[in-house]
Amino acid sequence: MLFNSISFLFVFLPVAWLLFHVAERAGLPKLAIGVLIAGSFVFYAYWNLAYVFILGGSIFANYLIAAHLDALAGLRTLSRRLVLSVGIAANLGLLGWFKYSNFLVDEFNRTTGTGFELAHIALPIGISFFTFQQIAYLVDVYRRAGFDSSLLRYCLFVSFFPQLIAGPIVHHREMMPQFGRGRSGRIIRDLAIGGTIFVIGLAKKVIIADSMAVPADLVFDGAAAGLAPTLIDAWSGALCFAFQIYFDFSGYCDMAVGLARLFGIRLPMNFASPYKATSIIDFWRRWHITLSRFLRDYLYVPLGGNRSGPARRYVNVFITMVLGGIWHGAGWPFAIWGVLHGILIVINQGWRHWQASRATDPQTGRTQISAMRMPVGIQRAAIFVLIVLTWVPFRAADAGAMTLVYAGMAGLNGISLPAAFAPVAGLLPGIVDPPGVVFDGLAVDPAQILLWIPALLCLVWLCPNSMEIMRGVRPIIATKGYPATHLSRSSPARPARFRPVWLLRPRFALATGLVLAVCLIQFNDPSRFLYFQF
């Protein structure tokens, strides 16, 4: 069931919301939690009934392992470490079987020339997210960060439908204190805040992301079929996909935050204007924040982090990013995407270290000169181009399609311009029939480039994001160590604080209603969120 579907918006959500608040108003918090659990399993069963047994079995098994870890709290560390290792291995084994088994068998056959066959294994939707979430919980229990003995509450922690399918990856200590609290006096406030954020996210997905998907699919699907995109087509496809995935994931994050707030729950920060990043490191502090947090706390730090010198730190960062790339999907393009980001982050860290050493007196330790920095606008533009280039393997169907798109972006496949440009080119000396240029029209509509791309660049670089607009009502939980733009009072764009009473103002209600109406018109063929496939 998609967030951007009629069945979700006008059937499932109203019923779940009404039953939940009726139970809470009746003073039955356990019943309210039960309603959310039942609704979450119905939501998950909509995709495939068999997936419910996988989710339920994973929840019950991890609860038993966590309870055993907690029971061993006073015993030897070795015993607890063994239980934790078994729990992590079981979770990774389940994820690996569903996500990577077909790929590994195919690669083994291709390499060795054998013909082993494995029945196609469908990937249960959201398994990567609820698996990582439960691994984090087991590690936290092992570290004595808290254990909740209630199976009912643990089940809700894992299955809560606004963040079940594509995150954010939450911690138990962030979520569970919020459940079971009476909030009957804040229903209208939460409805206003959550509904507004949801409509903003819905508009990002339906109006922008889905529009950008058309030219992006045209270029990348053509490359997968063996068609070589020309210079402008290749860059058009790459840019359109960069904006598609940006607004698709940003829209999903807003919709998840809005849905959770309808039930009085605040989710952690997961998206903070990543195209405003001034470095690759900054990008990963802004993009999919809870995944970055998980990789940092449960992979990078256990590998040694930065405790063993620069060389080991670079190796740890590189391994973390490669594994993060592989987590996104079973295929060489995802591994290449992880490798590219690993290399870029290592270079970024090395550059920072070199700048710091240049700016510090080795004898006194005092700063001699401030490190030279490019203007912020140039930094953002340069990082944006790098990000666009690295999105190519992420979107490409295989290595061959990736190579064709990169060749097109380098101009190796020639240049194609709209036929309407031919008379103009003929007026310029030396431009008549230039080699490699063909006036036969574009595969991608030029309007996508001339209108959409500049407008979207202005939107992501100059405008406040949805959490900054809503910062006056504390829409989300700040994630320690990551940008908290929703709390910032020094944003270049100083948006007015949203107040729930605005929902009652005719102009605000009309504007929100019009945006929602435009979105509903596009519901004829709702599309899945890109991160649902991971």
Per-residue three-class SS string for 409-466: HCCCCCEEECHHHHHHHHCCCCCCCCCCEEECCCCCCHHHHHHHHHHHHHHHHHCCCH
| 495-502 long-range contacts, CB within 8 A, separation 24+ | 495/464, 495/468, 495/469, 495/471, 497/471, 497/472, 497/473, 498/193, 498/196, 498/469, 498/470, 498/472, 498/473, 499/472, 499/473, 500/188, 500/189, 500/192, 500/193, 500/473, 501/192, 502/192
Q: Which two tokens stand for residue 202?
A: 């819905």
CA distance 188 to 264: 10
Q: Which two tokens stand for residue 368?
A: 């001699």
**In the beta sheet, which residues pair with residue 415?**
437
Residue 192's nearest CA partner among 463, 475, 489 is 475
The two beta strands, 415-417 and 437-439, are parallel
Q: Does residue 190 contact residue 264 with C-beta atoms inside 8 Å?
A: yes
Q: What are phi and psi of 104, to 5 degrees?
A: -65, -40
Name the residue with tokens 């996104």: 328
Residue 358: count of CB within 10 angstroms of its CB: 11
Residue in the structure block whose two tokens are 């494995």: 118
Residue appearing with tokens 């995109």: 229
Q: Which amino acid is at 132?
A: F
HSE of 324, CA atoms in CB hemisphere, 13 A = 26
Tokens of residue 170, six digits? 């939450």
Number of H helices, E strands in the chain: 24, 2
Joined tokens for residue 270: 């997961």
Q: Check if the beta carbon of residue 355 is closer than 8 Å to that of residue 367.
A: no
Of 328, 341, 353, 486, the catalytic one is 328
What's the sign of the alpha-carbon dihedral 352, 463, 170, 396? negative
Active site residue 486: no
What CA–CA distance (Å, rounded) separates 275 from 460?
6
Q: Are 204 and 251 in contact (CB under 8 A)?
A: yes
Kindly list the catalytic residues. 328
